[in-house]
Amino acid sequence: MSIACLFPGQGSQSKGMGRDLFDRFPDWTSMADDVLGYSIRELCLDDPRAELGLTQFTQPALYVVNALTWRARVEDDSPAPSFVAGHSLGEYNALLAAGAFDFATGLRMVHQRGELMGRVSGGGMAAVVGLTPVKIEAVLAESEEGQRLDVANFNSFDQTVIAGLTSDIAAVKPMFEAAGVRAYIPLKVSAPFHSRYMHEPMEQFAGFLETFGFGTPAIPVVANVTGRPYDGDVRATLAKQIGHSVRWLDTVLFLLDNGVTEFQECGPGTVLTKIVAQIRKARV
């Protein structure tokens, strides 16, 4: 049996997440409070100021809960994975699990990442369901509006997320409907993440990462931007992620091609588990 541990990203958060973990690991909980300047337990369990859905709060919250979930897995003597991977924000947890940096260092990076991405406004994202990635890219190439949009997430064979200006997302909807899309769903996000419109925060974040050191991952970590394991400069690859597509379909296909037989989601929810099941079913 070959295991891959997967760490979810933004969209998997929910009020109450981590309820059984904060008391179990008071040292990391306290450390998170010190790094962030607020109570991570209060944010995740009570969300009294309705902040959990805001990027600058969502990302640190998910990182902490994912990290605590991973630590619990390790301390429960679960079998070691052959690979780790994370979707967008979750990639930081994959690198943490592989020993590229420690918990507090990862949280400092994620905190700044969330702040920079949270400052971007305007634009949005939409999920396109029922068309292959190749067909989606062909539809986008047919119009000026489509050419101003980018594929943000290649999630599965028939679930892809596009990003760009809100007006352009609305303009291409009839084109996708004409192409036979099963669903076209505008997402409730504040900005066009993982697109050309995020290049400014991407460059700012790359500069911020220069202040950190990175170790060589002890477990192969499959990178979002390549769909292949990190094979060089962790810093450069990680910085690119903000402004480039999340190649999750390629990630899962790589893991399957390299003998992974079991996928375990380390974090709240089952978003990635469901996507993996879709990919496996479509591949048969």
Looking at domain 124-186, which of 3.30.70.250, 3.30.565.10, 3.40.50.20, 3.10.310.10 is its CATH number?
Answer: 3.30.70.250
CB of 275 within 8 A of CB of 21?
no
User: What pLDDT score was predicted for residue 121?
Assistant: 84
User: What pLDDT score was predicted for residue 29?
Assistant: 98
Residue 188 CB neighbours (<10 A): 9
Q: Looking at the predicted structure, is the pLDDT value of residue 256 above 90?
A: yes
User: What pLDDT score was predicted for residue 232?
Assistant: 79
148-163 tens-digit pLDDT: 999 999 999 999 999 9
Stretch(es) of the chain classified as CATH 3.40.366.10? 3-120+196-283
Q: Looking at the predicted structure, is the pLDDT value of residue 144 above 90?
A: yes
Stretch(es) of the chain classified as CATH 3.30.70.250? 124-186
Using CA atoms, how far apart are residues 55 and 242, in angstroms rounded to an integer? Answer: 13
User: What pLDDT score was predicted for residue 105?
Assistant: 98
Query: Tokens 């920079």 label which residue?
Result: 116
29-47 tens-digit pLDDT: 999 999 999 999 999 999 9
Looking at domain 3-120+196-283, which of 2.60.120.10, 3.40.50.2000, 3.40.366.10, 3.90.320.10 is its CATH number?
Answer: 3.40.366.10
Across the beta sheet with 3-7, the strand order is 221-222, 83-86, 3-7, 262-265
Angle between helix 90-97 and helix 55-75 axes, rounded to 10 deg:
30
**Higher local confidence (pLDDT), 11 or 249:** 249
Residues labelled as active-site residues: 88, 194
User: What pLDDT score was predicted for residue 284?
Assistant: 66
